[in-house]
Copies of this chain bind each other. A is one copy, B any other.
Amino acid sequence: MEMKFSKRAMEAKASEVRELLKLTDRADVIAFGGGLPAEEVFPVEEMIEICKDILIEHGTRSMQYSTTEGNNQIRSLMQEIMKEKGITAELDNILVTSGSQQGLDLTAKVFIEAGDKIICEKPTYMAAINAFKPFYPDFLEVEMDEEGIVIEELEKLVKENPDVKFIYTIPDYQNPTGITMSLERRKQMIDIANRYDVLIIEDNPYSEISFAGEPLPPIKSFDTEGRVIYLSTFSKLVCPGFRIGWVCGKQSIINKYGLLKQGTDLHTNIFSQLQILHFFKKYNRKERIDYIKGIYKRKRDVMLTAIEKEFPKEVSYTTPVGGMFVWITLPEKIKAKNLLEKALKENVAFVPGDAFYAKSHVENTIRLNYSGVEEDKIKIGIKKLGEIIRNEINL
Protein backbone atom coordinates (compact mmCIF):
# COMPACT_ATOMS: atom_id res chain seq x y z
CA MET A 1 0.00 0.00 0.00
CA GLU A 2 1.37 3.35 -1.00
CA MET A 3 1.44 5.92 1.78
CA LYS A 4 -0.08 9.20 0.76
CA PHE A 5 0.98 11.44 3.61
CA SER A 6 1.22 15.21 3.31
CA LYS A 7 4.70 16.71 3.25
CA ARG A 8 4.17 17.91 6.85
CA ALA A 9 3.36 14.37 7.96
CA MET A 10 6.37 12.94 6.13
CA GLU A 11 8.61 15.46 7.87
CA ALA A 12 7.06 14.92 11.32
CA LYS A 13 9.39 12.57 13.14
CA ALA A 14 9.48 11.50 16.75
CA SER A 15 12.38 13.45 18.24
CA GLU A 16 15.21 11.30 19.46
CA VAL A 17 15.35 13.29 22.69
CA ARG A 18 11.62 12.95 23.31
CA GLU A 19 11.98 9.18 22.96
CA LEU A 20 14.90 9.18 25.40
CA LEU A 21 12.95 11.29 27.88
CA LYS A 22 9.92 9.02 27.64
CA LEU A 23 12.01 6.45 29.46
CA THR A 24 12.52 8.86 32.35
CA ASP A 25 8.95 8.87 33.58
CA ARG A 26 9.99 6.93 36.69
CA ALA A 27 10.06 8.05 40.30
CA ASP A 28 13.82 7.41 40.62
CA VAL A 29 14.69 9.80 37.78
CA ILE A 30 15.32 13.47 38.56
CA ALA A 31 13.52 15.03 35.62
CA PHE A 32 14.71 18.53 34.74
CA GLY A 33 13.56 17.74 31.22
CA GLY A 34 9.84 18.35 31.42
CA GLY A 35 8.11 21.68 31.47
CA LEU A 36 5.76 20.66 34.22
CA PRO A 37 4.20 23.18 36.59
CA ALA A 38 4.64 22.36 40.27
CA GLU A 39 1.80 19.95 40.95
CA GLU A 40 1.86 20.43 44.71
CA VAL A 41 -0.05 23.68 44.06
CA PHE A 42 -2.87 22.06 42.05
CA PRO A 43 -6.16 22.57 43.92
CA VAL A 44 -7.18 18.90 44.02
CA GLU A 45 -9.24 19.04 47.23
CA GLU A 46 -10.95 22.27 46.20
CA MET A 47 -11.89 20.79 42.84
CA ILE A 48 -14.14 18.14 44.42
CA GLU A 49 -16.48 20.83 45.72
CA ILE A 50 -16.15 22.90 42.55
CA CYS A 51 -17.15 20.02 40.25
CA LYS A 52 -20.21 19.45 42.41
CA ASP A 53 -21.11 23.16 42.28
CA ILE A 54 -20.78 23.17 38.48
CA LEU A 55 -23.01 20.14 37.98
CA ILE A 56 -25.67 21.46 40.34
CA GLU A 57 -25.59 25.02 39.01
CA HIS A 58 -25.10 24.41 35.30
CA GLY A 59 -26.52 20.88 34.96
CA THR A 60 -26.63 19.59 31.38
CA ARG A 61 -25.20 22.87 30.08
CA SER A 62 -21.85 21.86 31.59
CA MET A 63 -21.90 18.78 29.33
CA GLN A 64 -23.60 19.94 26.11
CA TYR A 65 -22.03 21.41 22.97
CA SER A 66 -21.04 24.99 23.62
CA THR A 67 -20.03 28.10 21.69
CA THR A 68 -16.80 28.32 19.70
CA GLU A 69 -15.80 31.67 21.25
CA GLY A 70 -16.11 30.25 24.77
CA ASN A 71 -18.24 30.76 27.87
CA ASN A 72 -18.96 34.46 28.39
CA GLN A 73 -18.28 34.41 32.11
CA ILE A 74 -14.80 32.97 31.69
CA ARG A 75 -14.18 35.48 28.90
CA SER A 76 -15.07 38.19 31.44
CA LEU A 77 -12.49 36.75 33.80
CA MET A 78 -9.91 36.83 31.00
CA GLN A 79 -10.96 40.40 30.24
CA GLU A 80 -10.35 41.31 33.89
CA ILE A 81 -6.89 39.73 33.80
CA MET A 82 -6.12 41.65 30.60
CA LYS A 83 -7.24 44.87 32.25
CA GLU A 84 -4.88 44.34 35.19
CA LYS A 85 -2.05 44.12 32.67
CA GLY A 86 -3.03 47.40 31.05
CA ILE A 87 -4.83 45.82 28.10
CA THR A 88 -8.36 47.06 27.35
CA ALA A 89 -10.43 44.31 25.80
CA GLU A 90 -14.11 43.73 25.09
CA LEU A 91 -15.51 40.18 25.17
CA ASP A 92 -15.27 40.09 21.36
CA ASN A 93 -11.53 40.60 21.62
CA ILE A 94 -11.18 37.30 23.48
CA LEU A 95 -11.39 33.70 22.26
CA VAL A 96 -11.11 30.76 24.65
CA THR A 97 -8.67 28.16 23.29
CA SER A 98 -7.95 24.53 24.12
CA GLY A 99 -4.75 25.41 25.91
CA SER A 100 -2.35 28.07 24.74
CA GLN A 101 -0.98 25.51 22.31
CA GLN A 102 -4.17 25.81 20.28
CA GLY A 103 -3.61 29.56 20.21
CA LEU A 104 -0.37 28.79 18.38
CA ASP A 105 -2.02 26.33 15.97
CA LEU A 106 -4.73 28.88 15.16
CA THR A 107 -2.11 31.62 14.74
CA ALA A 108 -0.50 29.46 12.08
CA LYS A 109 -3.87 28.81 10.43
CA VAL A 110 -4.89 32.49 10.45
CA PHE A 111 -1.62 33.88 9.09
CA ILE A 112 0.79 31.41 7.52
CA GLU A 113 0.85 30.51 3.84
CA ALA A 114 3.63 28.25 2.57
CA GLY A 115 6.85 30.22 2.31
CA ASP A 116 5.71 33.11 4.53
CA LYS A 117 8.44 34.63 6.64
CA ILE A 118 8.02 34.69 10.42
CA ILE A 119 10.52 35.91 12.97
CA CYS A 120 11.15 34.08 16.21
CA GLU A 121 13.65 34.29 19.01
CA LYS A 122 16.86 32.29 18.89
CA PRO A 123 16.15 30.01 20.70
CA THR A 124 12.34 29.84 20.97
CA TYR A 125 9.58 27.62 22.40
CA MET A 126 9.83 24.16 20.80
CA ALA A 127 6.07 23.58 20.64
CA ALA A 128 5.59 26.87 18.80
CA ILE A 129 7.98 25.62 16.14
CA ASN A 130 5.88 22.43 16.02
CA ALA A 131 2.66 24.42 15.68
CA PHE A 132 3.94 26.69 12.89
CA LYS A 133 5.97 24.17 10.88
CA PRO A 134 3.02 22.20 9.41
CA PHE A 135 2.03 25.39 7.56
CA TYR A 136 5.46 25.65 5.90
CA PRO A 137 6.73 29.05 7.05
CA ASP A 138 10.23 30.33 6.45
CA PHE A 139 11.64 30.88 9.95
CA LEU A 140 13.93 33.85 10.52
CA GLU A 141 15.77 33.82 13.85
CA VAL A 142 16.58 36.94 15.83
CA GLU A 143 19.39 37.08 18.38
CA MET A 144 18.71 37.66 22.07
CA ASP A 145 20.86 38.98 24.88
CA GLU A 146 20.09 39.28 28.61
CA GLU A 147 17.45 41.95 27.83
CA GLY A 148 15.63 39.83 25.23
CA ILE A 149 15.49 40.37 21.47
CA VAL A 150 18.36 42.54 20.22
CA ILE A 151 16.45 45.44 18.67
CA GLU A 152 19.06 46.38 16.06
CA GLU A 153 18.99 42.80 14.79
CA LEU A 154 15.21 42.83 14.68
CA GLU A 155 15.08 46.10 12.77
CA LYS A 156 17.63 44.81 10.27
CA LEU A 157 15.52 41.68 9.72
CA VAL A 158 12.22 43.46 9.13
CA LYS A 159 13.92 46.05 6.93
CA GLU A 160 15.49 43.34 4.79
CA ASN A 161 12.24 41.32 4.77
CA PRO A 162 9.32 43.73 4.35
CA ASP A 163 7.00 40.77 3.76
CA VAL A 164 7.46 39.32 7.28
CA LYS A 165 4.06 38.10 8.57
CA PHE A 166 4.68 38.30 12.29
CA ILE A 167 7.23 38.32 15.08
CA TYR A 168 6.70 35.58 17.66
CA THR A 169 8.01 36.45 21.11
CA ILE A 170 7.82 35.24 24.71
CA PRO A 171 8.84 38.38 26.62
CA ASP A 172 8.56 37.10 30.22
CA TYR A 173 10.99 34.45 31.56
CA GLN A 174 11.15 32.95 28.11
CA ASN A 175 10.84 29.23 27.49
CA PRO A 176 13.56 27.96 27.12
CA THR A 177 16.05 30.63 28.26
CA GLY A 178 14.33 32.23 31.25
CA ILE A 179 15.26 35.65 29.79
CA THR A 180 12.90 38.62 30.36
CA MET A 181 12.64 41.40 27.78
CA SER A 182 13.39 44.79 29.33
CA LEU A 183 10.79 47.55 29.45
CA GLU A 184 12.72 49.66 26.97
CA ARG A 185 12.96 46.82 24.49
CA ARG A 186 9.20 46.25 24.71
CA LYS A 187 8.59 49.86 23.74
CA GLN A 188 11.17 49.70 20.98
CA MET A 189 9.58 46.54 19.67
CA ILE A 190 6.11 47.98 19.29
CA ASP A 191 7.68 51.01 17.65
CA ILE A 192 9.39 48.81 15.07
CA ALA A 193 6.19 46.82 14.51
CA ASN A 194 4.32 50.07 13.85
CA ARG A 195 6.95 51.55 11.58
CA TYR A 196 7.38 48.41 9.48
CA ASP A 197 3.75 47.29 9.62
CA VAL A 198 4.41 43.89 11.22
CA LEU A 199 2.22 41.89 13.60
CA ILE A 200 3.47 40.62 16.95
CA ILE A 201 2.39 37.35 18.55
CA GLU A 202 3.05 37.81 22.26
CA ASP A 203 3.02 34.47 24.06
CA ASN A 204 2.76 34.94 27.78
CA PRO A 205 1.96 31.84 29.78
CA TYR A 206 3.77 32.73 33.02
CA SER A 207 3.69 36.52 33.36
CA GLU A 208 2.19 36.46 36.89
CA ILE A 209 4.86 34.17 38.26
CA SER A 210 7.29 37.01 38.84
CA PHE A 211 9.96 36.80 41.54
CA ALA A 212 10.89 40.50 41.35
CA GLY A 213 7.77 42.46 42.24
CA GLU A 214 5.12 43.27 39.65
CA PRO A 215 5.68 41.75 36.21
CA LEU A 216 6.60 44.18 33.42
CA PRO A 217 3.70 45.43 31.29
CA PRO A 218 3.13 43.24 28.22
CA ILE A 219 4.04 44.51 24.77
CA LYS A 220 0.33 44.54 23.97
CA SER A 221 -0.24 47.20 26.64
CA PHE A 222 1.73 49.61 24.41
CA ASP A 223 -0.17 48.59 21.28
CA THR A 224 -2.29 51.44 19.89
CA GLU A 225 -2.87 49.91 16.44
CA GLY A 226 -4.23 46.46 17.26
CA ARG A 227 -1.17 44.71 15.89
CA VAL A 228 -0.31 42.61 18.92
CA ILE A 229 -2.05 39.28 19.49
CA TYR A 230 -1.70 38.12 23.08
CA LEU A 231 -1.78 34.44 24.07
CA SER A 232 -2.15 33.15 27.60
CA THR A 233 -3.32 30.21 29.69
CA PHE A 234 -4.50 28.98 33.07
CA SER A 235 -2.00 26.11 32.96
CA LYS A 236 0.28 27.69 35.52
CA LEU A 237 -2.29 29.47 37.72
CA VAL A 238 -4.59 26.46 38.08
CA CYS A 239 -3.34 23.43 36.14
CA PRO A 240 -2.47 22.42 32.56
CA GLY A 241 -4.56 19.22 32.36
CA PHE A 242 -7.79 21.19 31.80
CA ARG A 243 -6.33 22.80 28.64
CA ILE A 244 -7.82 26.27 29.02
CA GLY A 245 -6.09 29.20 27.35
CA TRP A 246 -7.08 32.32 25.43
CA VAL A 247 -6.17 34.66 22.63
CA CYS A 248 -6.75 38.42 22.90
CA GLY A 249 -6.54 40.78 19.94
CA LYS A 250 -8.29 43.11 17.54
CA GLN A 251 -11.83 41.96 16.82
CA SER A 252 -11.35 41.45 13.08
CA ILE A 253 -8.43 39.14 13.85
CA ILE A 254 -10.11 37.25 16.71
CA ASN A 255 -13.09 36.64 14.40
CA LYS A 256 -10.78 34.78 12.04
CA TYR A 257 -9.33 32.76 14.92
CA GLY A 258 -12.88 31.80 15.88
CA LEU A 259 -13.92 30.83 12.37
CA LEU A 260 -10.89 28.58 12.01
CA LYS A 261 -11.37 27.15 15.50
CA GLN A 262 -14.77 25.84 14.38
CA GLY A 263 -13.17 23.39 11.98
CA THR A 264 -10.37 22.59 14.42
CA ASP A 265 -12.30 21.36 17.47
CA LEU A 266 -15.75 23.06 17.40
CA HIS A 267 -15.24 24.49 20.89
CA THR A 268 -13.19 24.12 24.06
CA ASN A 269 -14.24 21.63 26.74
CA ILE A 270 -17.05 23.48 28.55
CA PHE A 271 -16.79 21.56 31.81
CA SER A 272 -13.19 22.65 32.26
CA GLN A 273 -13.99 26.26 31.34
CA LEU A 274 -16.42 26.16 34.24
CA GLN A 275 -13.85 24.47 36.51
CA ILE A 276 -11.50 27.44 36.05
CA LEU A 277 -14.33 29.96 36.33
CA HIS A 278 -15.71 28.52 39.56
CA PHE A 279 -12.27 28.13 41.06
CA PHE A 280 -11.68 31.87 40.76
CA LYS A 281 -15.20 32.65 41.95
CA LYS A 282 -14.35 30.85 45.14
CA TYR A 283 -10.66 31.57 45.64
CA ASN A 284 -8.79 34.85 45.49
CA ARG A 285 -6.56 35.16 42.46
CA LYS A 286 -3.95 37.44 44.01
CA GLU A 287 -3.51 35.12 47.00
CA ARG A 288 -3.13 32.18 44.67
CA ILE A 289 -0.50 33.97 42.58
CA ASP A 290 1.47 34.87 45.71
CA TYR A 291 1.30 31.27 46.91
CA ILE A 292 2.54 29.87 43.58
CA LYS A 293 5.23 32.53 43.23
CA GLY A 294 6.58 31.63 46.67
CA ILE A 295 6.96 27.97 45.78
CA TYR A 296 8.48 28.61 42.35
CA LYS A 297 10.88 31.22 43.70
CA ARG A 298 12.14 28.85 46.39
CA LYS A 299 12.76 26.16 43.79
CA ARG A 300 14.56 28.61 41.53
CA ASP A 301 16.74 29.72 44.44
CA VAL A 302 17.60 26.14 45.29
CA MET A 303 18.56 25.45 41.68
CA LEU A 304 20.64 28.60 41.21
CA THR A 305 22.46 28.11 44.52
CA ALA A 306 23.23 24.51 43.58
CA ILE A 307 24.40 25.50 40.08
CA GLU A 308 26.64 28.20 41.51
CA LYS A 309 28.15 25.67 43.89
CA GLU A 310 28.32 22.54 41.71
CA PHE A 311 28.84 23.61 38.09
CA PRO A 312 32.36 24.35 36.80
CA LYS A 313 33.16 27.99 36.06
CA GLU A 314 33.28 27.39 32.28
CA VAL A 315 29.51 26.97 32.34
CA SER A 316 27.25 30.04 32.17
CA TYR A 317 23.61 30.21 33.15
CA THR A 318 20.68 32.63 33.18
CA THR A 319 19.02 34.03 36.30
CA PRO A 320 15.27 33.95 35.60
CA VAL A 321 13.16 36.52 37.45
CA GLY A 322 10.07 34.34 37.00
CA GLY A 323 8.72 31.27 35.24
CA MET A 324 10.08 27.75 35.23
CA PHE A 325 13.43 27.48 33.41
CA VAL A 326 17.16 28.07 33.69
CA TRP A 327 19.25 28.02 30.51
CA ILE A 328 22.76 26.62 30.58
CA THR A 329 25.51 27.35 28.09
CA LEU A 330 28.35 24.83 28.10
CA PRO A 331 31.82 25.29 26.67
CA GLU A 332 31.54 25.01 22.88
CA LYS A 333 33.24 21.65 22.60
CA ILE A 334 30.67 19.96 24.87
CA LYS A 335 27.69 18.37 23.17
CA ALA A 336 24.56 18.42 25.32
CA LYS A 337 23.27 15.24 23.71
CA ASN A 338 26.31 13.25 24.82
CA LEU A 339 25.89 14.71 28.25
CA LEU A 340 22.24 13.60 28.34
CA GLU A 341 23.19 10.00 27.64
CA LYS A 342 25.60 10.06 30.55
CA ALA A 343 23.15 11.87 32.83
CA LEU A 344 20.42 9.33 32.11
CA LYS A 345 22.70 6.57 33.39
CA GLU A 346 22.82 8.54 36.64
CA ASN A 347 19.04 8.99 36.55
CA VAL A 348 19.11 12.69 35.75
CA ALA A 349 17.21 14.04 32.72
CA PHE A 350 17.16 17.40 30.89
CA VAL A 351 16.48 18.71 27.39
CA PRO A 352 19.43 19.53 25.13
CA GLY A 353 18.86 23.05 23.82
CA ASP A 354 19.12 22.16 20.13
CA ALA A 355 15.39 21.39 19.91
CA PHE A 356 14.58 25.03 20.65
CA TYR A 357 16.18 26.48 17.55
CA ALA A 358 13.85 26.97 14.60
CA LYS A 359 16.69 26.95 12.13
CA SER A 360 20.18 26.96 13.67
CA HIS A 361 21.95 24.05 15.28
CA VAL A 362 23.45 24.82 18.64
CA GLU A 363 24.72 21.80 20.49
CA ASN A 364 26.13 23.19 23.73
CA THR A 365 23.01 24.43 25.52
CA ILE A 366 20.66 22.85 28.05
CA ARG A 367 17.23 23.75 29.41
CA LEU A 368 16.65 22.94 33.07
CA ASN A 369 13.18 23.00 34.62
CA TYR A 370 12.89 23.60 38.35
CA SER A 371 9.13 23.97 38.86
CA GLY A 372 8.34 20.27 38.42
CA VAL A 373 11.09 18.91 40.70
CA GLU A 374 11.18 18.65 44.49
CA GLU A 375 13.74 20.83 46.28
CA ASP A 376 15.95 18.04 47.66
CA LYS A 377 15.96 16.35 44.26
CA ILE A 378 17.01 19.61 42.61
CA LYS A 379 20.07 19.67 44.88
CA ILE A 380 21.00 16.04 44.20
CA GLY A 381 20.35 16.35 40.47
CA ILE A 382 22.41 19.51 40.01
CA LYS A 383 25.28 17.97 41.98
CA LYS A 384 25.30 14.91 39.73
CA LEU A 385 25.01 17.06 36.62
CA GLY A 386 27.92 19.19 37.83
CA GLU A 387 30.11 16.10 38.13
CA ILE A 388 29.11 14.85 34.70
CA ILE A 389 29.85 18.23 33.10
CA ARG A 390 33.18 18.49 34.91
CA ASN A 391 34.18 15.02 33.72
CA GLU A 392 33.15 15.90 30.16
CA ILE A 393 35.20 19.11 30.21
CA ASN A 394 38.24 17.29 31.54
CA LEU A 395 37.99 14.50 28.96
A contact set with B: CB distance below 8 Å: 1-9, 12-14, 34-37, 39-40, 42, 44-45, 47-48, 51-52, 55-56, 59-60, 62-66, 98-99, 101-102, 104-105, 109-114, 116, 127, 130-135, 165-166, 197, 199, 225-227, 235, 238-243, 252-253, 255-256, 259-260, 262-272, 275
**List of B residues within 8 angstroms of A259 by Cβ:** 9, 12-14
In Å, the complex CA distance between A355 and B81 comes to 38
In Å, the complex CA distance between A62 and B44 comes to 9
- Assuming the A-B contacts A133-B263, A265-B102, are A9 and B256 also in contact, with contact meaning beta carbons closer than 8 angstroms in the complex? yes
A140 to chain B, nearest CB (A): 15
CB <8 Å contact, A265 and B240 = no
**List of B residues within 8 angstroms of A14 by Cβ:** 255, 259
CB <8 Å contact, A270 and B256 = no
**List of B residues within 8 angstroms of A127 by Cβ:** 262-263, 266
7 further contact pairs, Cβ within 8 A, besides A1-B227, A12-B259, A241-B270: A4-B199, A6-B135, A48-B52, A64-B240, A65-B235, A101-B263, A132-B263
**List of B residues within 8 angstroms of A235 by Cβ:** 65
> Which of B66, B114, B130, B256 is close to A241, meaning CB atoms less than 8 Å apart?
B66
In Å, the complex CA distance between A62 and B225 comes to 41
A68 to chain B, nearest CB (A): 10
**List of B residues within 8 angstroms of A9 by Cβ:** 109-111, 256, 259-260
In Å, the complex CA distance between A108 and B45 comes to 40
**List of B residues within 8 angstroms of A132 by Cβ:** 263
In Å, the complex CA distance between A102 and B98 comes to 11
A44 to chain B, nearest CB (A): 5
CB <8 Å contact, A62 and B241 = yes
- Assuming the A-B contacts A55-B44, A242-B271, A269-B269, are A134 and B109 also in contact, with contact meaning beta carbons closer than 8 angstroms in the complex? yes
- Assuming the A-B contacts A44-B63, A127-B263, A165-B4, are A269 and B252 also in contact, with contact meaning beta carbons closer than 8 angstroms in the complex? no
**List of B residues within 8 angstroms of A266 by Cβ:** 99, 101, 127, 243
> Which of B4, B8, B47 is close to A109, meaning CB atoms less than 8 Å apart?
B8
CB <8 Å contact, A241 and B269 = yes
> Which of B4, B40, B59, B133 is close to A44, meaning CB atoms less than 8 Å apart?
B59
- Assuming the A-B contacts A99-B265, A111-B6, A263-B127, are A48 and B51 also in contact, with contact meaning beta carbons closer than 8 angstroms in the complex? yes
CB <8 Å contact, A256 and B5 = yes
**List of B residues within 8 angstroms of A35 by Cβ:** 65
- Assuming the A-B contacts A42-B64, A111-B6, A259-B13, are A265 and B241 also in contact, with contact meaning beta carbons closer than 8 angstroms in the complex? no
CB <8 Å contact, A197 and B263 = no
**List of B residues within 8 angstroms of A135 by Cβ:** 6
**List of B residues within 8 angstroms of A242 by Cβ:** 63, 269, 271
CB <8 Å contact, B101 and A264 = yes
In Å, the complex CA distance between A56 and B49 comes to 12
In Å, the complex CA distance between A101 and B199 comes to 29
In Å, the complex CA distance between A56 and B39 comes to 15
Going nearest first, the 8 A-B pairs with the smallest beta carbon separation are: A130-B263, A51-B51, A63-B239, A12-B259, A39-B60, A241-B270, A63-B241, A131-B263
CB <8 Å contact, A36 and B55 = no
